[in-house]
Structure 1
Amino acid sequence: MSTDIRFTDFKSDKQPTWCPGCGDFGTMNGMMKALANTGNDPDNTFIVAGIGCSGKIGTYMHSYALHGVHGRALPVGVGVKAANPELEVMVAGGDGDGYSIGVGHFIHAVRRNMDMTYVVMDNRIYGLTKGQFSPTSREDFETTTSPEGPQQAPVNPLALALAAGGTFIAQSFSSDAQRHAEIVQKAVEHDGFGFVNVYSPCVTFNDVDTYDYFRDSLVDLGEDDEYDPTDYDQATDVILDSEKEYQGVIYQNEESVSYNESHGLTENMADIPDGAPEDAMDLVREFY
């Protein structure tokens, strides 16, 4: 890994087509800064994305990338990391992609604890398909297709991750550039599955969960000297608190051992010679 990489080295020559002011710009910049700050470079980075506004991110970043199908980005990322542990694998998604059609893959990726990072751009709406409510939309959030709101409680992705055995659970705000990049960097450095839910406002279709709303309501756990992200009970209280919006590393198991390490997935499968031990191939078959 190079020590001379700048975050701009991760920028492709493709201009983003996101709406002006979209939170995804800040989310992507933080991802690039985190990758550069951890010594990664485009030649050893693989970005996987699904469908939605977030799905375009692999086009806008200079690295290896795959734009997959709706809700299926995580199993692709898991497969890439299993096949070549030398790659830094980062999966990007949205709240619809990750917490609706992809929620089954999300839970199992969390519990497997592969050494990779999952960044979700949570704007609490389906932006690419023009403003339907998403799994994280408020119960009374009115849209053109739901004038009376979803009339059901929103999904709590942090609670899902904790219940599935998550070893790194964090939340950030795309507009808080330095803090967001710092939180994603900690996820990348974590030995295991680093999950970051990012408040990434949609300026076109969501006039409730706005930049001003998050600036006024966010509680930064990093500013609380008494908060300990390794304390499971404290993390549970924060995650289940429906009255506040939080930013920071909410829970981290510092004794986490990634699936790669615990199951001996340390070699690039392309480098395993013919006649490799049968037990090595059994590890590959676990994923297929």
Structure 2
Amino acid sequence: MSTDIRFTDFKSDKQPTWCPGCGDFGTMNGMMKALANTGNDPDNTFVVAGIGCSGKIGTYMHSYALHGVHGRALPVGIGAKLANPNLEVMVAGGDGDGYSIGAGHFIHAVRRNVDMTYVVMDNRIYGLTKGQASPTSREDFETSTTPEGPKQPPVNPLALALAAGGTFIAQSFSSDSQRHTEIVQKAVEHDGFGFVNVYSPCVTFNDVDTYDYFRDTIVDLAETDHDPTAYDDATDMIMDGNKEYQGVLYQDEHSVAYEEREGLSDNMAVIPDGAPDNATNLVREFY
């Protein structure tokens, strides 16, 4: 890993098409800063995304990237990491992509504990398809397709991760640039599956879970005496659906990544004989 990498090295020349004010801008900036702070190089970084407003994040970042299908970003990231354990793999998604159609992959990715990072931009709505209720929407959240609300409790992604045996469970707020970067950086540095659920407000379709709402309600664990290695305390916090926490809620300090447990260290991703010299550049440009 290089020590000369800067945040701007992870910026591509493509301009994001997100709505002005979208929380995903801050989420992506924190991801790039975290990668740079940990000394990762764009040429050794693979960003995978699924479908949703977050889906084109790999286009907006300068690294190897793949824009996959709905809910399937995690198995692609796992496959790449196991094929080349020396690759830095970061998977990005949204609450719809990760906690609805991708929920099964999410649970199994957590329990496998592959050494990679999963950043979910949780805006509590389906933004790309014009504002339907998502798995994390409030029970009374009124939308065009749920005029009286979904009438079902929202998914608690932190609880899902804990129940699946998560070794790093955290939450951040895209507008709090410094803390968001710190939290994602800790996830990258974690030996195992680093999961960060990010409050990433949708300014177009969600007028409930706004920047002001999160600023007024977030409890930052950095300002408390919370010990993230205390499993029981973390469980109590994660199961408390009445508070919005920011910080690392749980981290297993004895975590051993899947690759280390299985003795995987060799790069199995080899360009076939006869491939053109610029094959890797062609792959980068294609995706």
Q: Above 0.5 in TM-score?
A: yes
Misfit runs of 4+, over 2 Å: none
Q: RMSD of the TM alignment (CA)?
A: 0.9
Q: Residue 283 of structure 1 corresponds to which residue in structure 2?
A: none
Distance, in Å, in 1 between the alignment partners of 2:190 and 2:228 is 13
Deviation digits for residues 129-153 of structure 1, max 9, x if unmatched?
0000000000000001110000000
Counterpart of 1:262?
A: 261
AA aligned to 2:198 is V
**Letter aligned with residue 250 of structure 2:** Y
Name the counterpart of 2:234.
Answer: 235
Q: Does 1:145 align with 2:145?
A: yes
1:253 maps to amino acid = D
Q: Which secondary structure state, in structure 2, belongs to the residue aligned with residue 228 of structure 1?
A: coil
Q: Deviations over 1:173-200 (max 9, x none)?
A: 0000000000000000000000000000
* TM-score normalised per structure 1: 0.93
- The alignment's TM-score, normalised by the length of structure 2, stands at 0.94
SS of corresponding position for 2:110: helix
Hey, what does 1:220 align to over in structure 2? 220
> What residue is the counterpart of 1:244 in the other structure?
243
2:83 is matched with: 83
Corresponding letter in the other structure for 1:159:
A
Structure 2, unaligned runs of 5 or more: 271-287
Residues 131-280 of structure 1 aligned to structure 2 (within 5 Å):
131-225=131-225, 227-270=226-269
Q: Which amino acid in the other structure matches residue 71 of structure 2?
A: G
Deviation per residue, 1:20-66 (Å, 9 max, x gap)? 00000000000000000000010000000000000010000000000
Q: How far did residue 223 of structure 1 move?
A: 1.0
Aligned residues: 271
1:21-170 correspondence runs (5 A) = 21-170=21-170
User: C-alpha displacement at 1:265, in angstroms?
Assistant: 1.3
Gaps of 5+ in 1: 272-288
3-state SS in 2 of match to 1:90: strand
User: What is the deviation of 1:266?
Assistant: 1.0
Q: Aligned partners of 2:269 and 2:134: how far apart in 1?
A: 40
Shift, 1:270, TM fit: 3.3
SS in 1 for 2:35: helix
